Amino acid sequence: MPAPPPIYLDNQATTRCDPRVLERMLPYFSEHYGNAASKTHSFGWTAEAAVALAREQVAASLGGNASEVVFCSGATEANNLALRGVAEAYAARGKHIVVAATEHASVLDCARELERTGWDLSIVPVGEDGLVSIPELRAALRETTTVVSIMLVNNETGVVADIPSLAALVHQECPKAIMHCDAVQALGKIPIDVAALGVDVLTVSSHKVYGPKGVGALWRRRRPRLVVHPQVFGGGHEGGLRSGTLPVPLIVGFGTACEIAGRERSEENARLALLRDRLLDGLRSSVGGIVVNGSIESRIASNLNIAIEGVTADVLVSEIGDVAMSTGSACSSASAKPSHVLGAMVSAERARTSIRMGLGRFTTEEEVERAIVCIAAGIAKVRGA
Ligand code: PMP
């Protein structure tokens, strides 16, 4: 009998492109290959119309306006554009930036780069639940604070921040400050409404929401108009904010992925919450010493991040080849450093014994049952070794 296929439980690292998304993308690789910036023929017009529709779809998924959306290569670029672009535009107001300790590397490293060029940087700590508290944020704000960046959903723990309250505090204490939010892990998982969040600029990425890799977007408020200095110069695409020929098939895919997520999110979440709870219960009833990292109440439905007593996560993951999951953040595993997110929340020992499991649209009940057996057996083996 052939071996069962591996089980993918790493949907926070990336998701499979939905076949419906791929289907809509394909014609834009073949017959509709025009450049969306070509104004003189139908090839260009067709591409431009497809981009316009996708822009509407992405904007709708954020509660924003299409004219506020700037396409770029992904959220790493969008975060760089947001932080550096806003910092450059508003430096005269004061050169102090505030970020949370659990931000993605594309925010943290960008903030450190600003620090290198003369900005003051404050990194706000989080509690054991992974959340930034109002008093901690208030303590970090100064008269010179110009940029604040706090993510909506954490990529390792799935914890959901109370951005409306945090943004309200920022705007109340520092009326001139610009509030940025990395909403990459929130898109398609919880409703996003830029007005209700109270943010000025926000980033999203396609490949976390069953769209293709290599495309993302920056949303920035138009009324009153937020100025963002471009970081890539050239032909003046995207209103001069991000030059470069638009990757039309990827943008079409991103738009479609947003549209599907908007339609299916509630039902999908209900299913994933049941699977996630079953995964936790199954593991707990098979092996002891499991603790959930981060708030369980304020968390997306599809994430489970657990510490397993006495089990080094790297050893466990290499033991369980059949289940794809991660220790710390796969997004930064190129650097193979311990997770800075868990490091900010729990003890080094607990971080060392933690694994992240991310369920997704294509995760089945059968896979969850099989994963429980595989992971429990791996834990028993590592503990017995
Ligand atoms: N922010 C968060 C919270 C993420 O999870 C990721 C992806 N790991 C990024 C930013 C970067 O996104 P991209 O892969 O599109 O560059």
Give the CATH number of the domain where residue 185 resides. Answer: 3.40.640.10
Nearest CA to ligand 1 atom 8: 331
Instruction: Tell me if residue 138 falls in helix, strand or coil.
Output: helix
Residues 337 and 321 in one domain: yes
Long-range CB pairs of 25-32 (<8 Å, 24+ gap) are: 25/212, 25/249, 25/250, 25/252, 25/253, 25/256, 26/249, 28/248, 28/249, 28/252, 29/249, 32/248
Strands 216-220 and 7-8 turn out to be unpaired
Residues with C-beta less than 6 Å from any ligand 1 atom: 74-76, 79, 104, 106, 151, 155, 182, 184-185, 205, 216, 331
> Is 273 found in the same domain as 240?
no
Torsion, Cα 54 152 221 66, to 10 degrees, reads 10
Neighbours of 29 (CB within 10 A): 12
Please give the positions annotated as active site.
331
Looking at the structure, tell me whether residues 253 and 305 fall in a common domain: no
366 inside domain? yes
Overall number of domains in the chain: 2
Output the CA 223–ligand 1 centroid distance in Å: 27
Residue having the nearest C-alpha atom to atom 16 of ligand 1: 76
Q: Specify whether 177 is located in the same domain as 232.
A: yes
Q: Tell me, yes or no, whether 38 lies in a domain.
A: yes
CB distance 310 to 383 below 8 Å: yes
Residue 381, in any domain of the structure: no
pTM: 0.97
At 358, the amino acid letter reads G
Single out the residue in 200, 231, 259 at which a domain terminates. Answer: 259
- Taking the C-alpha atoms of residue 222 and residue 239, their distance in angstroms, rounded to an integer, is 12
The residue segments making up the domain with residue 274 are 7-16+265-375
Residue 2 belongs to a domain: no
What is the distance in A from the centroid of ligand 1 to the CA of 128?
A: 23
> Which residues, in sequence order, are CB contacts of 198 under 8 Å at separation 6+?
163, 164, 167, 168, 171, 179
Q: CATH number, domain at 282?
A: 3.90.1150.10
**Is 384 domain-assigned?**
no
Are residues 46 and 168 located together in one domain of the fold? yes
Q: Please tell me the distance between residue 41's alpha carbon and the centre of ligand 1 in angstroms.
A: 36
Give the atom of ligand 1 at the shortest distance from the alpha carbon of 329: 8
Is residue 307 domain-shared with residue 175, that is, in the same domain? no
Contact 158, 190 (CB under 8 A): no
- Asked, for residue 242, whether it belongs to a domain, the answer is yes
Assigned domain for 288 exists: yes
Average pLDDT of each block of 10 consecutive residues along the chain (385 residues)? Answer: 90 98 98 98 98 98 98 98 98 98 98 98 97 97 98 98 98 97 98 98 98 98 96 96 98 99 98 98 96 94 96 93 80 64 94 96 98 97 89
Angle at 225 (CA atoms; ends 224, 228), nearest 5 degrees: 145
194 and 293 in a single domain? The answer is no
For ligand 1, atom 9: residue with the closest CA = 75
Choosing from 231, 259, 287, the residue where a domain stops is 259
Do both 135 and 117 map to the same domain?
yes
Do 272 and 228 fall into the same domain?
no
Asked if 214 and 299 sit in the same domain, the reply is: no
What region, left, alpha or beta, does residue 36 occupy, with left being phi > 0 and alpha being psi -120 to 50 degrees?
alpha
d(CA 93, CA 98): 14
Residue that terminates a domain, selected from 228, 259, 290:
259
Q: Is 270 left (phi over 0), alpha (psi -120 to 50) or beta?
A: alpha
**Same domain assignment for residues 229 and 334:** no
Q: Are residues 235 and 289 in the same domain?
A: no
Place of tokens 């102090």: 96
The secondary structure of residue 98, as a DSSP letter, is E
